[in-house]
Chain A
Amino acid sequence: MTALVTLERVGFSYPGSARPALRDVSVAIEAGTVTGVTGLVGAGASTLLLVAGGFAPRLTGGALTGARHLATERVGIVFATPWTQLTGLASTVLGEVAFGPASLGRPREAVLAAVERAIGDLGVAHLAERDPTTLSGGELQRVVVASILAMVPDLLVLDDPAAELDPAGADALYALLPSVAARGAAVLVATPDTERLARVADRVLALEDGRLVRSGPPGAVLDDTDVARIARAAGCPAPLPLDVAAAVERVVR
């Protein structure tokens, strides 16, 4: 199974910035998986997403070194703020979701079919006729994801997609990612929200100062959820439990 995205010793610097955002990163992203990317602010998580998705340097400018192999052009990206991602050309959710497929000039029936499937998968079918500007942050972000999935991307990249949402909206959004991967797409999500990442990621890449320092299953990579910090301080040996259930199992009664 050749990887969908392969980075070999990739470095990246933004235009006008001396400090490289990525240094010597090598990683392969497989289709059908949810890959988490985490790291402190400025560690390069967002940059890794832009490079892996083929957006940098094409749209951001800057200099890429090393080898990047991207086996698809069908890449979608989701950002933290829902409102900036609306096209502003549709007065209904259905029209907003249809914008992508319609832009590719696909026949009308194909566009409508793609829209029906996407809003169904994202659980926003009941909002189809609603004006996007009247939706809550959580609903809007799911509409944004639906409008990208309607184009059936092979790679879906999400940059801290739930930062602006309340806990219920965030949980609902993260819960969708495994089902998107199950349909064959590769999902790459960057966030400092390690609590939710631990629940949905098959694999996590940890970055520090532009370098990939650890990668593997969440349990082996993440160690800074509240439960993990409590367990470590209370003398629990590695690998640290990441959530309450895991911690309860590790306590000797």
Chain B
Amino acid sequence: MSGHAIRFEGVRFAYGGTEVLHGVTLDLPAGSAVAILGPNGAGKTTLTRLLIALLRPRAGRVTVGDWDVATKRPDEMARRVGYVFQHADQQLFERTVQRDVAFGPRCLGRPAAGVDRALEELGLVAVADVHPYDLPPPSRKLVALAGVLAMEPGVLVLDEPTAGLDRVGRDLVVAALRRRNAAGVTSVVVSHDVAFVAETAERVVVLREGVVAADAPVRKLLSDAAALAPLGLEPPPAAALGLALGLPGAPIRVEECVAALGGVRWRGA
């Protein structure tokens, strides 16, 4: 699985008359794990839809690896970009989880190995023969995510992947995304779930009113309450605890916070 670099060059986009993106330039090297934050209506989802040719820029260029997205159709971009919609469970239609997860690979003519790996990663092996709509809604969301992971894309785009998931589901998505990034896959996540962003992203791009307002390492931004406040966000619990206790190294992930707490003594309740 090799990742692809993503490049936005002066991209402008408008819905009808109103321009939503006013010249966005971004360079995401292959394998980078990026999160996009910003208030609603800032153009986050619009930006990601340009990556898979669902939208055409009014000006500027979007490239994935050596492909200029403007020259491709969405079903062609699907060979390189795995796009998971926020309400992705609405795309399920096969009679079993296994068959639905295999739909993408079948369309692309890719081997079924990716299907079994995706089912494994998201804890769906036990329900492979169950009808997706006989599962509760959060599990359907995992099935839809598995359906995109199974295509083994070089780029992953996730729109609010953790909304409605329970603790176990979130941990599975975190592990799956980390494993893919480690294998060189580039990932772009749009999410309000700062804890999830802290656990998975290395870099955060803040989009406000259609322009890139900030582009910083995740550690710097997510431990800066003042920077997050205007976005209606707060630092994740791990970062908040680190700040409250003045822990060294500005931890933002759970395991980082645990490490920084090494040797601390706790009072009984």
Contact = CB atoms under 8 A, between A and B. Distances in A.
Please determine if A and B sit in direct contact within the complex, based on CB atoms under 8 angstroms apart. Answer: yes
A22 B65 CA distance: 51
Interface string A222-253: 00111101110111111100011101111110
B143 interface: no
B192 A247 contact: no
B238 A230 contact: yes
A250 B266 contact: yes
A251 B240 CA distance: 15
A251 B245 contact: yes
Interface stretch (B15-23, B77-85, B229-237): B229-237
B169 to A, nearest CB: 6
A209 interface: no
Interface stretch (B25-33, B98-106, B159-167, B211-219): B159-167
Contact of B163 (A164, A195, A225, A239): A164
A80 interface: yes
A167 interface: yes
A42 to B, nearest CB: 6
A75 B238 CA distance: 39
Given A226-B237, A230-B258, A252-B267, A163 B164 contact: yes
Contacts of B234: 167
B241 A227 contact: yes
Contacts of B138: 41, 192
A41 B134 CA distance: 13
Interface in B244-269: 244-245, 254-255, 257-258, 261-262, 264-269
B261 A234 contact: yes
Given A42-B136, A252-B266, A229 B169 contact: no
A167 B232 contact: yes
Contacts of A17: 134
B244 A226 contact: no
B167 A40 contact: yes
A239 B238 CA distance: 19
Contact of A225 (B135, B136, B237): B237
Contacts of A249: 267
A15 to B, nearest CB: 12
Contacts of B232: 166-168
Contact of A41 (B139, B237, B244, B264): B139
B40 interface: yes
A133 interface: no
Contacts of A72: none
Interface in B153-196: 163-169, 192, 194-195
A163 B139 contact: no
Contacts of A42: 135-136, 139
B8 to A, nearest CB: 24
A251 B267 contact: yes
Contacts of B258: 230, 233-234
Given A237-B266, A252-B267, 19 more contacts: A40-B168, A41-B139, A41-B165, A42-B135, A163-B163, A166-B40, A192-B164, A226-B236, A226-B237, A230-B241, A230-B257, A233-B255, A234-B266, A236-B266, A237-B268, A247-B245, A248-B244, A248-B245, A250-B269
Interface of B: 40, 134-136, 138-139, 163-169, 192, 194-195, 232-234, 236-238, 240-241, 244-245, 254-255, 257-258, 261-262, 264-269
What are the 6 tightest A-B residue pairs by CB atom distance, in nearest-first order? Answer: A226-B237, A192-B166, A234-B261, A236-B266, A163-B164, A252-B265
Interface of A: 17, 39-42, 46, 80, 136, 160, 163-164, 166-168, 192, 194-195, 224-227, 229-231, 233-239, 243-245, 247-252
